[in-house]
Amino acid sequence: METWKAPFFEASVPDDFLGSERLDKYISSLPQGLGRSKLKSGVQEILVNGKAAKLSCKIRAGDKIQIFWQDNVPDNIEPENIPLKIVYEDDDVCVVNKEQGMVTHPAAGNWTGTLVNALLFHWGRGAVTGVKDGDTPQTLERRRPGIVHRLDKDTRGGRMAPRAVFEPPPC
């Protein structure tokens, strides 16, 4: 059973769990678990059976896990001067050849240096505001403006970004 309420996560390893596994791999495999990047980027304290532990420790059947972390969500997504390889651009869209290693949207562990930060700068836009607090659909949408994709950080390839979703809202 796992319980998750930021910034705290608690899980019990089932008594019928066989063998041992690294704590970070085990937690990320749970349906309500935390991803390994989130664990690495914000963990403040890990307790296994009430004792301090590391992400690399091996867990076993019956272990009780508690994780405390700080998710440093910024107030805004800021424009950043990051060189882009633009394949095509007009008044409506921009097609960028995203390099391997660049994250598309700001997210836990990668709040800067993303394609979104670069496009904001490239188009002369201001910061995307109101991304820090809350988990409403509107707040979450502001954290991931406009780029639909299935390429991960370590994959390079074309991304199409609609300029309209990066426009400031009307007054």
Tell me the catalytic residues.
152
Q: How many CB atoms lie within 10 A of CB 113?
A: 14
Give yes or no for a contact between 160 and 102, defined as CB atoms under 8 angstroms apart.
Answer: no
Cα dihedral 39, 45, 50, 51 in deg (nearest 10): 100
The H or E element spanning position 115 is helix 115-122
Strands (E) in 6-82, as ranges, are 8-12, 21-22, 43-48, 51-52, 58-59, 64-69, 76-77
- 94, β-bridge pairs: 89, 161
